[in-house]
A and B are shown apart, each in its own frame.
Chain A
Amino acid sequence: QTVVTQEPSLTVSPGGTVTLTCASSTGAVTSGYYPSWFQQKPGQAPSALIYDTDRKHSWTPARFSGSLLGGNAALTLSDVQPEDEAEYYCLLYYGGASYVFGTGTKVTVL
């Protein structure tokens, strides 16, 4: 059973920067896993932020960016705003229309 692991929680100050990571139990995450990232606020459906490692949707704020970092997928939030407080999930592709979500990171803005 493939497991995709994220930090359980991170705290960041308003205006600060925080990086979330997404690690695969199968080994290093590469662009071939087509990493994507989602934001979910309480009571809402997830919302897509990043796809194909670092590509943004038309609605994605510029302060969100995706990358590969040290064998993991990464999501960096710069100039963090209070409204960025949410749960963040990564999603990795394992072939044959098979995806696995990460365990999720709760970002607190404090």
Chain B
Amino acid sequence: EVQLLQSGVEVKKPGESLTISCRGSAFRSLWIGWVRQTPGKGLEWMGVIHPDDSEARYSPSFQGQVTISVDKFINTAYLQWSSLKASDTGLYYCTRLDFPVQPCDVWGKGTTVIVPS
């Protein structure tokens, strides 16, 4: 059974950088996506990356705001911020996609990021 294991809760200050991770038991050349959940906005699609060529594609809302990367040799995907804002507070899920037909069949448990204003 494929599992996606995410890193733990993060509490950071505005302006700080942060990288959270998502380790899979086997990526199997499927895309890995990131999804944000906030109380006010529900689920938001952030972007995806392919482990084989590290090609990342971003939702327009998150382009330039975050960086998605991957290390296929250790089956780990990353979501990175260079300068956090209070509005980045949320619950971040990683998920696996056999896109476009079968998105998000497997989900991580989520990483909570808190950036107090």
Q: Is B43 an interface residue (CB 8 A)?
A: yes
A34 touches B105 (CB 8 A): no
B21-49 interface bits toward A, Cβ cutoff 8 Å, 1 = contact, 0 = none: 00000000001010100000011110110
Q: Is B85 an interface residue (CB 8 A)?
A: no
A48 touches B45 (CB 8 A): no
- With contacts defined as CB atoms under 8 Å apart, how many contacts are there between chain A and chain B in the complex? 64
Please name all residues of chain A whose beta carbon is closer than 8 Å to the beta carbon of B108 when the two chains form the complex: 45
> How many residues of chain B have a CB within 8 Å of chain A?
25
User: Max chain B CB contacts within 10 Å: which of A57, A98, A102?
Assistant: A98
A98 touches B59 (CB 8 A): yes
Give me the interface of B with A, judged by CB distance under 8 Å: 31, 33, 35, 42-45, 47-48, 57, 59-61, 93, 99-105, 107-110
| Known A93-B100, A98-B59, A101-B43; 5 more pairs at CB < 8 Å | A51-B102, A52-B101, A89-B42, A96-B57, A97-B99
Give me the interface of A with B, judged by CB distance under 8 Å: 1, 34, 36, 38, 45-48, 51-52, 55, 57, 89, 91, 93, 96-104
